[in-house]
């Protein structure tokens, strides 16, 4: 185990690419300085360690802070000699519109940590103060948003979903002004900082920036560097198109995994899409409680619900289209890029149907099963049961035929409203068809159950639980926060069944439990 303070950090990114080394954090456009601007964290009043991901620390061989100096690093009050703190520059399409230069407005990468697996990991502070890309913001984060990011990024990891990680959560001792819903009611909230960890925080927008500025040599250099460092298995003269093909594949996989557990990102702008296929930038996210394909947790997204639960796969392809447009100058024509982009839908559907098959415990998804899967989705979207609880109850179906009343009774625990006669018919019809299909399974009942258990989480980090934990922490009570830290590590077990309940009625309307803003 090595100390954050004594470690010799790498700085390959800032050594490889041009940037602004002045350290000036005045918000500005930085043409010609494509990749980063130096940005030292702004010290805070009293950094205090609230949470530490021991499992991640073990993987990276990072020693838990034992001194105030080490905690000061996590709070942005100390930068060691081998660190080079910077904010990355990137662009992006936000809510379907070109937004131009964006960049890390409240995230500062301290350095690259060499790990025992031979890889390096960026250690990044979120909420560490202003950078050249903060625009009109203060570069800070509040406890509310920081608790959400710390817990959810780790929860997604334990669910088996590609994600950035969180190593630590630190309170700053400072108060930060926030207008939670952008409705003219700003309030002071306690400040906090999360240390985020990923092999790289490069995103689609990182490639859109040099392309938009027609800095093609810089674009080509970034692509080559990305492939060499993060896709080293790709070789040959055609490696750029092979790399794009893999980015398409990883993105399709990520979308399927989000749909598997009911995760809604909330703000799928191209600057929030990882080039490594990771879940990145946790803001107004949520899991779906009732199965509503039009659900969005983001107040900013409400007019068009562009980033609603059921829209995410299509937006994944749209964002890949933006990436393809950025890469187009590297090709003599766009035919290859268009072909790979069009292949996304087929890749997604194959992965998606296989995922649904696992959730149902099927031996395989055959062409004849497509109707059953469509029947399932239509029924879920109509009845809107609690998604997580519904699939758990599906795993405990009694054998043999059941009349309609018995079927409805079995799933009652997952229902948020009394079913209409037609809805009762839909549920009974699906269960009848599903049982008939299970009878043709070529695998054992035990094997089928195992597939379902691995595909269907029993615990998800619901927004109302996060909201309660944040409220308690603000009052000095960390019990629920600590309980959730343990529960997220075992999402497929029944060890934390105190949380195996539907969203309570009050949580449908309480701010922070239902809808959130991009400042969340």
* Per-residue confidence in pLDDT tens, the chain, 520 aa: 999 999 999 999 999 999 999 999 998 887 777 799 999 999 999 999 999 999 999 999 999 999 999 999 999 999 999 999 999 999 999 999 999 999 999 999 999 999 998 999 999 999 999 999 999 889 999 999 999 999 999 999 999 999 999 999 999 999 998 877 666 778 899 999 999 999 999 999 999 999 999 999 999 999 999 999 999 999 999 999 999 999 999 999 999 999 999 999 999 999 999 999 999 999 999 999 999 999 999 999 888 999 999 999 999 999 999 999 999 999 999 999 999 999 999 999 999 999 999 999 999 999 999 999 999 999 999 999 999 999 999 999 998 889 999 999 999 999 999 999 999 999 999 999 999 999 999 999 999 999 999 999 999 999 999 999 999 999 999 999 999 999 999 999 999 999 999 999 998 877 777 677 665 4
Query: Of the residues 20, 271, 292, 386, which is catalytic?
Result: 271
pTM (global) more than 0.75? yes
The CA R_g of the chain, rounded to the nearest whole Å, is: 24
The Cα 74–Cα 474 span in angstroms is 20
Q: Are 377 and 353 in contact (CB under 8 A)?
A: no
Q: Is 271 an active-site residue?
A: yes
The residues pairing with 122 across neighbouring beta strands, listed in sequence order, are 112, 198
Q: Max CA-CA distance within the chain? A: 73
Within a 10 A sphere around the Cβ of 201, how many other Cβ atoms?
23
Alpha carbon 40 to chain centroid distance? 26
Domain ranges of the chain: 12-201, 205-298+305-357, 364-440
């Amino acid at each position: 185990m090595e100390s954050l303070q004594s470690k010799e950090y790498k700085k390959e990114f800032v050594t490889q690419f041009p940037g602004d080394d002045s350290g000036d954090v005045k918000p500005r456009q930085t043409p010609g300085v494509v990749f980063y601007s130096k940005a030292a964290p702004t010290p805070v009043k009293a950094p205090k360690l609230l949470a530490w991901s021991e499992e991640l620390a073990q993987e990276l061989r990072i020693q838990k802070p034992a001194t105030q100096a080490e905690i000061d690093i996590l709070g942005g009050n100390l930068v060691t000699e081998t660190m080079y703190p910077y904010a990355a520059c990137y662009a992006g399409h936000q809510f379907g519109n070109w937004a131009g230069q964006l960049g890390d407005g409240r995230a500062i990468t301290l350095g690259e940590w060499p790990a025992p697996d031979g890889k390096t990991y960026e250690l990044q502070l979120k909420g560490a103060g202003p950078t050249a890309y903060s625009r009109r913001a203060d570069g800070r984060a509040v406890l509310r948003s920081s608790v959400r990011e710390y817990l959810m990024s780790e929860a997604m990891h334990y669910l088996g979903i590609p994600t950035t990680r969180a190593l630590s959560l630190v309170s700053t001792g400072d108060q930060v002004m926030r207008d939670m819903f952008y409705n003219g009611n700003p309030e002071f909230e306690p400040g906090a900082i999360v240390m985020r960890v990923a092999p790289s925080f490069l995103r689609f927008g990182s490639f859109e920036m040099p392309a938009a500025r027609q800095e093609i040599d810089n674009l080509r250099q970034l692509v080559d560097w990305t492939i060499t460092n993060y896709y080293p298995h790709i070789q040959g003269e055609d490696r750029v198109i092979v790399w794009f093909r893999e980015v398409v594949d990883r993105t399709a996989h990520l979308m399927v995994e989000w749909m598997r557990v009911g995760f809604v990102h909330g703000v799928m702008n191209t600057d929030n899409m990882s080039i490594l296929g990771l879940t990145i930038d946790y803001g107004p996210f949520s899991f779906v409680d009732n199965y509503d394909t039009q659900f969005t947790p983001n107040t900013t997204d409400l007019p068009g619900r562009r980033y609603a639960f059921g829209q995410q796969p299509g937006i994944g392809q749209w964002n890949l289209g933006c990436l393809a447009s950025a890469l187009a100058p590297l090709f003599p024509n766009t035919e290859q890029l268009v072909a790979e982009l069009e292949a996304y839908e087929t890749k997604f559907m194959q992965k998606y149907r296989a995922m649904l098959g696992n959730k149902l415990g099927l031996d395989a998804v055959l062409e004849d099963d497509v109707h059953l899967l469509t029947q399932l989705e239509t029924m879920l979207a109509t009845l809107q049961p609690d998604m997580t609880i519904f699939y758990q109850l599906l795993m405990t179906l009694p054998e043999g035929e059941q009349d309609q009343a018995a079927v409805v009774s079995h799933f009652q625990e997952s229902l948020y409203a009394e079913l209409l006669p037609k809805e009762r018919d839909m549920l009974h019809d699906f269960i009848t068809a599903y049982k008939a299909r299970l009878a043709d399974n070529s695998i054992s009942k035990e094997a089928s159950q195992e597939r379902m258990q691995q595909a269907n989480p029993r615990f998800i980090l619901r927004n109302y639980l996060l909201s309660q934990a944040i409220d308690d922490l603000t009052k000095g009570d960390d019990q629920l926060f600590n309980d959730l830290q343990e529960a997220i590590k075992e999402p497929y077990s029944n060890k934390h069944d105190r949380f195996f309940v539907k969203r309570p009625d009050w949580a449908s309307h309480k701010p922070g439990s239902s809808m959130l803003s991009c400042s969340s």
